[in-house]
A and B are shown apart, each in its own frame.
Chain A
Amino acid sequence: AQSVTQLGSHVSVSEGALVLLRCNYSSSVPPYLFWYVQYPNQGLQLLLKYTSAATLVKGINGFEAEFKKSETSFHLTKPSAHMRDAAEYFCAVRPGGANSKLTFGKGITLSVRP
């Protein structure tokens, strides 16, 4: 079985500061990893995904994430936060192969201070 841990439920940064949202996973087989963003009262939008090609993955809106197998981590970063980045962010893991379910972490709310 697979699982995702997102430590902390809320992160607050100043506009222009580095954004770092942590994600650790467990999976019995090589996983596919995803970050989703949810803006208030909206559905989930895919930010980026790791599918075993490059370990540094670039996504939309200036976000990127690095897959580190030795640390079982897939942390999300953005060099400079913008007010529009305020949202809830979910990390998710999906084992490769048939019958693979997508399992989410509990999510982290990002606030951006002016």
Chain B
Amino acid sequence: NAGVTQTPKFQVLKTGQSMTLQCAQDMNHEYMSWYRQDPGMGLRLIHYSVGAGITDQGEVPNGYNVSRSTTEDFPLRLLSAAPSQTSVYFCASSGQSFYGYTFGSGTRLTVV
């Protein structure tokens, strides 16, 4: 049981480049979310999804796009990377709302 798989684990981008962070889960979970973690800020919600074809914005959505074409996958796209997007990104998934989320191991992104 792989759980939540994120790729890549590390990435360095130049300002203005675009890229996609991949997230896949094999638990048939309805809910999936993307968070970014910055020192002293906790985890802030970027985008989330309650099922295939349904996405919504979280607390800090600007500069990021998502789509959910299948239950398993929830990629996060950075449209034009900026140094302010340097962060650790976590993908998470959950079944019913009274379950906790299961987190991936994270992607450490540096934008130079």
Interface centre among B40, B97, B103, B104 (most CB of A within 10 A): B97
User: Interface residues of A toward B: which range?
Assistant: 20 to 34
Q: Is A17 an interface residue (CB 8 A)?
A: no
0/1 interface trace, chain B 22-46, chain A, CB 8 Å (1 if under): 0000000000010100001111110
Q: Is A83 an interface residue (CB 8 A)?
A: no
Interface of A with B (CB < 8 Å)? 6, 9, 32, 34, 36, 42-46, 49, 51-52, 90, 94-107
Collect the chain A residues with CB atoms within 8 Å of residue B102's CB: 46
Collect the chain B residues with CB atoms within 8 Å of residue A103's CB: 45
Complex Cα spacing A9 to B44, Å: 16
Collect the chain A residues with CB atoms within 8 Å of residue B98's CB: 32, 49, 51-52, 96
28 contacts between A and B (CB under 8 A): A9-B40, A32-B98, A36-B103, A43-B105, A44-B90, A44-B92, A45-B103, A46-B100, A46-B102, A51-B98, A90-B42, A94-B97, A96-B97, A96-B98, A98-B97, A101-B45, A102-B33, A102-B45, A102-B92, A102-B94, A102-B101, A103-B45, A104-B35, A104-B42, A104-B43, A104-B44, A106-B42, A107-B43
Collect the chain B residues with CB atoms within 8 Å of residue A107's CB: 42-43
Known A-B contacts A106-B40, A106-B42; A42 and B97 likewise in contact (beta carbons under 8 Å):
no
Are B43 and A101 in contact (CB-based, < 8 A)? no
Collect the chain A residues with CB atoms within 8 Å of residue B56's CB: 99
> B107 → chain A, closest Cβ, in Å?
11
